[in-house]
């Protein structure tokens, strides 16, 4: 979950700064681009989540890692408005948030039924905690890659965030691919806390108990 959160935060937290500080986008243009990214995230999450029921949880995430890795270059090095919007849409739809569409059911199937809510929740929050420094890491590394002016001089306060994010996301996709590849999968696991036969037996017992109680009440009510 730490890698999954590095995946999302590493591709999103510093991106508005990249758009405005490096590419010179206006605030309105930056907002539009981030909205396009979120639309891609919605589409990718829904599609990948459903496909994982067919091809498997791990295979779906592995495909997302490969597709996301392929989108790193256009996502980080596009410059004009149209290409940036297209790249950020497909980066989220094919790589980042598409893999997140698989995570809820994947974690639920791997967790013991009686502790599912606790394990899924705490694993997500611990991963979120581990990745909370993503933007700080990227911005700190970015200071090593200052942008230069026409005459080769360093521009104060301007850094090549695109290169830094590309390096960061390439590493995240690579390590995540390895972790998912060697990790477990329990697709189709029973998500009930009890066996289905036990659930049916308990429901039948409750039904007949309620029926008997109702008959006793009617019998007591007769004069």
Residue 97 CB contacts under 8 Å (≥ 6 apart), including other chains: 8, 40, 41, 42, 44, 45
Torsion angle of the four alpha carbons 140, 142, 145, 149, in this order, in degrees rounded to the nearest 10: -120
Distance CA 165, CA 193 (A): 43
Global pTM exceeds 0.85: no
Angle between helices 57-77 and 161-182 (to 10 degrees): 170
- The pLDDT, as a whole number, for residue 219 is 57
**Residue ranges per structural domain of the chain:** 2-190, 192-223
- The pLDDT, as a whole number, for residue 52 is 93
Residue 68 near residue 10 (C-beta atoms within 8 A): no
The helix or strand, by DSSP H or E, that contains position 213, with its residue range, turns out to be: helix 196-221
Distance CA 105, CA 56 (A): 11
Distance CA 102, CA 45 (A): 7
Give me the phi and psi of 146, to 5 degrees please: -70, 150
pLDDT in tens, 174-200: 999 999 999 988 887 777 665 556 667
- The pLDDT, as a whole number, for residue 211 is 67
Q: What is the DSSP letter of 158?
A: E
* pLDDT per residue as tens, the chain (223 positions): 899 999 999 999 999 999 998 898 999 999 999 999 999 999 999 999 999 999 999 999 999 999 999 999 999 999 899 999 999 999 999 999 999 999 999 998 998 888 888 989 999 999 999 998 888 888 888 888 888 777 766 777 788 999 999 999 999 999 999 999 999 888 877 776 655 566 676 677 777 777 666 665 555 555 5
- The pLDDT, as a whole number, for residue 25 is 92
Q: What is the DSSP letter of 115?
A: G
- The pLDDT, as a whole number, for residue 112 is 85
| Fold classification of 2-190 (topology level) | Growth Hormone; Chain: A; (1.20.1250)
- The pLDDT, as a whole number, for residue 167 is 94
Of 58, 99, 65, give the one whose Cα is nearest residue 186: 58
Q: What is the DSSP letter of 114?
A: G
Q: Which residues pair with 154 in a beta bridge?
A: 148
Q: Which residues pair with 148 in a beta bridge?
A: 154
Residue 168 CB contacts under 8 Å (≥ 6 apart), including other chains: 10, 134, 137, 138, 141
Residue 142 near residue 160 (C-beta atoms within 8 A): yes
pLDDT in tens, 13-51: 999 999 998 898 999 999 999 999 999 999 999 999 999
């Amino acid at each position: 979950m730490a890698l999954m959160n590095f995946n999302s935060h590493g591709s999103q937290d510093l991106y508005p700064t990249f758009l405005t500080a490096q590419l010179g986008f206006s605030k309105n243009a930056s907002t539009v681009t981030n909205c396009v990214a979120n639309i891609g995230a919605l589409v990718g999450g829904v599609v990948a989540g459903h496909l994982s029921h067919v091809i498997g949880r791990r295979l779906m995430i592995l495909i997302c890692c490969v597709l996301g890795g392929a989108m790193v270059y256009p996502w980080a090095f596009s410059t004009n408005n149209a290409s940036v919007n297209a790249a950020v849409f497909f980066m989220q739809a094919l790589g980042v948030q598409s893999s997140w569409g698989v995570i809820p059911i994947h974690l639920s199937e791997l967790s013991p039924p009686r502790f599912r809510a606790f394990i899924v929740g705490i694993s997500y929050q611990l991963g979120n905690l581990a990745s909370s420094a993503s933007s700080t890491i990227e911005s700190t590394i970015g200071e090593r890659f200052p942008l230069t002016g026409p005459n080769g001089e360093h521009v104060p306060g301007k850094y090549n965030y695109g290169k830094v994010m590309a390096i960061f996301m390439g590493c995240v996709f690579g390590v995540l691919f390895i972790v998912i590849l060697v990790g477990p999968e329990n697709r189709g696991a029973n998500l009930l806390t009890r066996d289905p036969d036990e659930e049916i037996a308990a429901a039948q017992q409750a039904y007949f108990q309620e029926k008997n109680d109702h008959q006793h009440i009617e019998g007591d009510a007769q004069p």
